[in-house]
Structure 1
Amino acid sequence: MTANVSSTQPASSPSSPLHAVVADDFDAVNQTIVAQLASKVPLVETISQYIIASGGKRLRPLLVLLAARSLGYQGDKHVTLATLIEFMHTSTLLHDDVVDESHLRRGKQTANDHWGNAPSVLVGDFLYSRSFQMMVDVGSLRIMAILSAATCMIAEGEVQQLTNIGNPNISEADYFETIKGKTAMLFEAASQSGAVVAEATSEQEEALKLYGRYLGLAFQLIDDLLDYEGDADAMGKNVGDDLAEGKPTLPLIYAMEQGTPEQTKLIRQVIRKGGLEQLDDVLEIVHATGALDYTRKRANEMADLALAQLDALPPSPYRDSMAHLARLAVDRQA
């Protein structure tokens, strides 16, 4: 018999100085997560709690809380907003792992590997549906417009990434357009909606929207870099996973542009067929061409752009945490 997660498995908060400034808000988010996972179908609660409690930095709900508090917000709707953003993100993880046929996420067995594809997809749908119910509770048509548009862009980004697999002809511009939808869009929607709930000025709302976008781009760039130089134990996934799937990420795109004809030909072949048989050869090429340094440079550029947006906010510990977050996004090793 499945345990009732609402009474026996409370969600846990990440512990870091970034989260400390909104620690009470995060406790409220955890309580809301547990309450909103309630379902008359035990498997829905079991899988939902499994994926939500499996670790992660909780950056997207953190952005909501920091954005709202940085503008002096004193209400409680930002807690509901942060929770539904986390549900939206979690649902995409469930769906992504099915699409990618993943077996490991954050060092743990994926839900689809444990329970199968069909339950994972359907529970992902449940979390998406629950998030839209919670949007009604927030009571802002402006926020609903932002988040509903974001869900469409995220889905388009995921489909675009899927169509890019095995295609060595993807340009850097194509790559950035894909990760803007796939990853940066939810960062952007989180920080912008946090601004809206706090009744920001138009200038502040735009600044926080762009802050989230650039932060998300920086975060994804480092994710793609770590696929070629990260620590598997720290990342909770295997080095070379993107290569195995034939994903043309920026390290490979740049390496093909800068490499010799022979090096470019090899990478193109590997992207087309996927697999890890030539991982060592590809790693040698991405290092020799400076592809990882270039990817980190682009990530730092995005972080700098994110930092510049914070000038629109009044000084506060919340703004300081957002600045620190931009730097951590590019300095992390996992």
Structure 2
Amino acid sequence: MSTISIATAKEVFDLLRDDLAAIEREFTRQSASPVEVITDIASYLIAGGGKRIRPLLLLLSAKALGCESHSRIRLGAVVEMLHTATLVHDDIIDEADSRRGRPSSNTKWGNSKCVLAGDWLYMQSFQTALEERNFRVLDLLISLTQQMVEGELLQIQKLGHLINEEEYFDLIYRKTACLFQVSMQLGAVVSSQAGENGEYAFDSQLGEYGRNLGLAFQIVDDVLDLTATEEVLGKPVASDLREGKATLAVIHALERGTGAEREQIRTVLADRSFQRVSHPQILEILHRHGSIDYAMDTACAYAEAARQSIAELPASDARRALMWVPGFVTSRDR
């Protein structure tokens, strides 16, 4: 690799190709159950692909600190298993019909089997993590799971209601950014021994990187939900509004719109449909007040904050790759 500060996509892929393939194999192995339906659902979810950005972050965090042990593969599978379990439960809660351009697992197997398969994946991820024999690993994963469940419950309570930016950022931290943060911290934990104060080298800096990147990631996700096409997104567009969720661009427009515009947005959130107010009408309001640009600018600011968080990390190919990831997050189209 060259010595410039930010890697290219090809360099990142070349750096992680073997490790990501190893994580995929580990995930598949850990997801096998004597109960056939669990294996079937897990295999279907694994085959659905995804960005694998959480294990990618854990790998880069560990590599940046010189870790080459199997722990990075095992825990990479753990964070992807946890993420997959949340997707199963999210689809059930949201009554989703599709994900990544395919029928959602609950559409194929029904809610009852899928909620239990999601529970199994949660428990299997902890069973796998136990092999590390490291209390810090378990502490991070338990706290993470509590945050994610609390975030989901808080979001359900707020469906159809107006929320402010502070509430929005609390929600997306719990639902998304917390897992990014923990993925980075796990990389630090497996890379070194705890110091006298119980802290690991670069734990806070890497965790802050993950937090900022996760916030940027979810803001972009929310913008794409409003602006992308169903063909590109792989699921119905404007799902958030139809589920009664107010995301950052919508909150921005609500604070700046006219009385009539605010009433149109409130109608969609309350109805959880576009029967009385159309999706193009909402988009027109958002564009009129620069709300989409505002949300993307905010995402880019968090992405840059992620880069700044690791300024003191030792120079390496992994750090250069970590400098690349924020740009990928904010420029993607799905």
> Take 2:22 and 2:269, find their aligned partners in 1: how far apart are those partners?
45
Which residue in the other structure is 1:305 paired with?
A: 305
Are the equivalent residues in 1 in contact too, given 2:229–2:237 (CA < 8 A)? yes
* Secondary structure of 1:22's aligned partner: helix
Are the equivalent residues in 2 in contact too, given 1:203–1:312 (CA < 8 A)? no
Which residue in the other structure is 1:205 paired with?
A: 203
> Take 2:37 and 2:320, find their aligned partners in 1: how far apart are those partners?
41
TM-score between the two structures when normalised by the length of structure 2: 0.93
1:111 maps onto 2:109 in alignment:
no
Match of 1:44 among 22, 34, 38: 38
1:206-258 Cα deviation digits (max 9, x unpaired): 00001001110000000111111113212111221111111111111101111
Are the equivalent residues in 1 in contact too, given 2:57–2:180 (CA < 8 A)? yes
> Take 2:271 and 2:11, find their aligned partners in 1: how far apart are those partners?
43
Which residue in the other structure is 2:319 paired with?
A: 319
1:270 maps onto 2:268 in alignment:
yes
> Take 1:97 and 1:136, find their aligned partners in 2: how far apart are those partners?
28
1:144 maps onto 2:133 in alignment:
no
CA displacement at 1:203 relative to structure 2: 5.5
Which residue in the other structure is 1:179 paired with?
A: 172
1:109-152 Cα deviation digits (max 9, x unpaired): 00001110011101001110100101111121111101110110
* Secondary structure of 2:333's aligned partner: coil
User: What amino acid maps onto 1:219 in structure 2?
Assistant: F
User: What amino acid maps onto 1:132 in structure 2?
Assistant: F
CA displacement at 1:27 relative to structure 2: 2.0
Deviates more, 1:192-201 or 1:83-92: 192-201
Match of 2:256 among 244, 255, 258: 258
Which residue in the other structure is 2:4 paired with?
A: none
Are the equivalent residues in 1 in contact too, given 2:189–2:200 (CA < 8 A)? no
* Secondary structure of 1:312's aligned partner: coil
CA displacement at 1:202 relative to structure 2: 4.4
* Secondary structure of 1:237's aligned partner: coil
> Take 1:225 and 1:194, find their aligned partners in 2: how far apart are those partners?
29
Identity %: 38
Which residue in the other structure is 2:237 paired with?
A: 239
Deviates more, 1:86-95 or 1:307-316: 307-316
Deviates more, 1:276-285 or 1:171-180: 276-285
> Take 2:217 and 2:41, find their aligned partners in 1: how far apart are those partners?
26
* Secondary structure of 1:281's aligned partner: helix
Query: How many residues are treated as equivalent by the alignment?
Result: 319
Are the equivalent residues in 2 in contact too, given 1:91–1:124 (CA < 8 A)? yes
Which residue in the other structure is 2:187 paired with?
A: 194
User: What amino acid maps onto 1:90 in structure 2?
Assistant: T
Are the equivalent residues in 1 in contact too, given 2:306–2:326 (CA < 8 A)? yes
CA displacement at 1:188 relative to structure 2: 0.5
* Secondary structure of 1:72's aligned partner: coil
Q: Structure 1: which 5+ runs fail to align?
A: 1-14
1:123 maps onto 2:121 in alignment:
no
* Secondary structure of 2:311's aligned partner: helix
CA displacement at 1:45 relative to structure 2: 0.4
TM-score between the two structures when normalised by the length of structure 1: 0.93
Which residue in the other structure is 1:4 paired with?
A: none
CA displacement at 1:35 relative to structure 2: 1.4
> Take 2:158 and 2:100, find their aligned partners in 1: how far apart are those partners?
24
* Secondary structure of 1:295's aligned partner: helix
CA displacement at 1:75 relative to structure 2: 1.2
* Secondary structure of 1:138's aligned partner: coil
Are the equivalent residues in 2 in contact too, given 1:231–1:333 (CA < 8 A)? no
Which residue in the other structure is 2:5 paired with?
A: none
CA displacement at 1:22 relative to structure 2: 1.6
* Secondary structure of 2:202's aligned partner: helix
Match of 2:71 among 66, 77, 82: 77
CA displacement at 1:276 relative to structure 2: 2.0
Which residue in the other structure is 1:216 paired with?
A: 214
CA displacement at 1:46 relative to structure 2: 0.4
The structure showing larger relative contact order (alpha-carbon pairs under 8 Å, at least 6 residues apart) is: 2
Q: Structure 2: which 5+ runs fail to align?
A: 1-8, 194-198
Cα RMSD of the aligned pairs, angstroms, is 1.3
> Take 2:55 and 2:10, find their aligned partners in 1: how far apart are those partners?
14
Are the equivalent residues in 2 in contact too, given 1:240–1:276 (CA < 8 A)? no
User: What amino acid maps onto 1:332 in structure 2?
Assistant: R
Are the equivalent residues in 2 in contact too, given 1:103–1:109 (CA < 8 A)? yes
